[in-house]
Structure 1
Amino acid sequence: MFGRRPSAEDDTVVAVLAAALRRDISFGVLRPDQKLKIEALRQNYGGSNHSMRETLRMLSAEGLVEATAQRGFRVTSATEDDLRDILLMRLEIERLGLRMAMQQGDVPWEGRVMASHHALRHIEETVSQSVDDATALDWDIACRTFAATLVEAAHSPRLTGMQLKFYDQSRRFRLALLREGRLDFAIRARQQQALLEAVLARDTEAALTALEAYVTADLGC
């Protein structure tokens, strides 16, 4: 027997559901280790049994949801050990990606790095004054874009996919720091500027050092 082939409409529904669950996991609406029951999720988010199950499988592959032995799902844990492990993987992947990007990146890539840095600085000036859910999401998108742009010139889809996977796994920790007022935006501005200047100067070792300082501080480590 052949399985049902997903339609473009199915894919769209799953993408919308996944975005909603990612957001609520990141903001703690769906708590670490919380059991995720299909019917309850459908009542809150919509979709069919099939689309919700596919959504949970997608988030499981991303490391945000975990399949349990009883064939159910739960939100992954968010302990200090989890944070340290995510930090380890982020640093290894982003260092490799940045090194490759600086070897292969062209002037248009430098322009995109500058633009993403400018956008991040702009939103950080806003959230340093006040934060609500909308500005927190804008800030998170700007942080994600800056990190992704730094490694995009590595021209390795698998590397950039892994970078985004572990970046998204760190999202809960980063948003918690923001909402709890535990980020020093003056220090972040200096770290981001040092990273940008090293990239534009094509000083690889300085860039890697600046990247490690920035990512470590970004996760409150």
Structure 2
Amino acid sequence: MFGRGRQDEEASVVRLLAAQLRRDIAFGILAPDTRLKIDDLRARYGGSAHSFREALTLLAGEGIVESHAQRGFRVASATGADLEDIQRMRARIETLGLEWSLAHADASWEAELVATRHTLGRAVEAVRHEPASEALAWDEAVSRFHATLVANCRSPRLIAFQERLALESRRFRLAALIEGCIDHDAEKATRAQIVEAVLARDTEAALACLTRLFQPAAGAGTESSQ
């Protein structure tokens, strides 16, 4: 019993450290390609060397940290090519997931999708006024909306892959938010069209609208925030 309690405590510490690192990577505090030395991280965040190795391994599984046998860990790169690749993969995976979700559509999934769009709408209004303090809540709402689109697809592997790609794109979303490169009104309108198409069981229209969310913003010189 005592052994299990200690394991749960260590797991909680690992999750906490991973969350702190994930946040600082997302906001660019830990810049792309930065070497993540265990001793430096312990001095900055606290925690044991073992806990940090576990946390970094967890983040490596999410694709935002890279692990090298001889060189340890570093923050994954974040180039324009990286973003383009992530967005291209997300467009394919999420449209496939949405297509499969629509094939099994039911009232429960529709209600969840409507609810997540409503939550995201409120998060957008909040982040317009307080970008710094509301950024993480907005980011979570964006992620939840996209996760819900594929949640009814009946493929755990597709859902897991979608989640990983969404995590990899997170720092690009937050950077775009901070730099003022997001057209919230355009994205809000497109998300509304997706939900309307889902409720109408118009698969072709729903997939076309979702694909549009992953296309470069016109004149912005950047990818969509998704």
Aligned 1:50-61 pairs, distance under 5 A? 50-61=50-61
1:159-174 → structure 2 map (5 Å cutoff): 159-174=158-173
Tell me the alpha carbon deviations over residues 26-45 of structure 1, each in whole angstroms, 9 at most, x when there is no partner. 00010000000001111222
The separation in 2 between residues aligned to 1:216 and 1:124, in whole angstroms, is 20
Q: Distance in 2 between matches of 1:216 and 1:25?
A: 24
Range 207-216 or range 110-119, more displaced: 207-216
Partner of 1:149 in structure 2?
148
2:42–2:48 Cα contact (<8 Å) kept: yes
AA aligned to 2:147 is A
Aligned-pair identity (%): 48
> Matches of 2:190 and 2:23 in 1, distance apart?
27
Give the alignment's Cα RMSD to 1 decimal.
1.8
**Offset at residue 69 of structure 1 (A):** 4.8
Q: State TM-score, norm by structure 2.
A: 0.91
Cα distance in structure 1, aligned partners of 2:156 and 2:48: 31
Q: 1:45 to 1:105 in 2, by over 3 A?
A: farther
Q: How many residues align?
A: 217
Offset, 1:205: 0.9
Alignment of 1:39-58 (within 5 A): 39-58=39-58
Quick one: distance in 2 between partners of 1:43 and 1:109?
A: 45
Unaligned runs of 5+ in 1: none
Deviations 1:165-221 (A, max 9, x none): 000100111111111111111111111111111111111111110001113358725
Range with greater deviation from structure 2 (42-51 or 74-83): 42-51
Which residues of 2 match residues 1-221 of structure 1 at below 5 A? 7-132=7-132, 134-217=133-216, 220=223
Q: Give the superposition deviation at 1:128.
A: 2.1
* Structure 2: gaps (5+ residues): none
CA contact (8 A) 2:88 2:214 kept: no
